[in-house]
Amino acid sequence: MICQKSEDAVPLQRIYLSQTLFELVLVRAYYSNLKQVMKKRC
pLDDT band for 26, please (50, 70, 90 cuts). Answer: very high
User: Would you say residue 4 lies in a domain?
Assistant: no
pLDDT score of 38 more than 80: yes
Domain presence at residue 6 = no
Whole-angstrom Cα Rg for the chain: 18
Q: Which of 1-5, 9-13, 20-24, 29-33 has the lowest mean pLDDT?
A: 1-5
The total domain count for the chain is: 1
The answer to whether position 35 is within a domain reads yes
Distance of CA 13 to the CA centre of its chain: 13
| pLDDT higher than threshold 90 for residue 13 | no
Please check the confidence at residue 3 and state whether its pLDDT lies above 70: no
Q: What's the average model confidence in pLDDT over 28-42?
A: 89
Q: Is residue 27 part of a domain?
A: yes
Domain that holds residue 16: 11-41
On the question of pLDDT at 2 being above 90, the answer is no
Positive or negative, the CA dihedral 30, 33, 39, 42 is negative
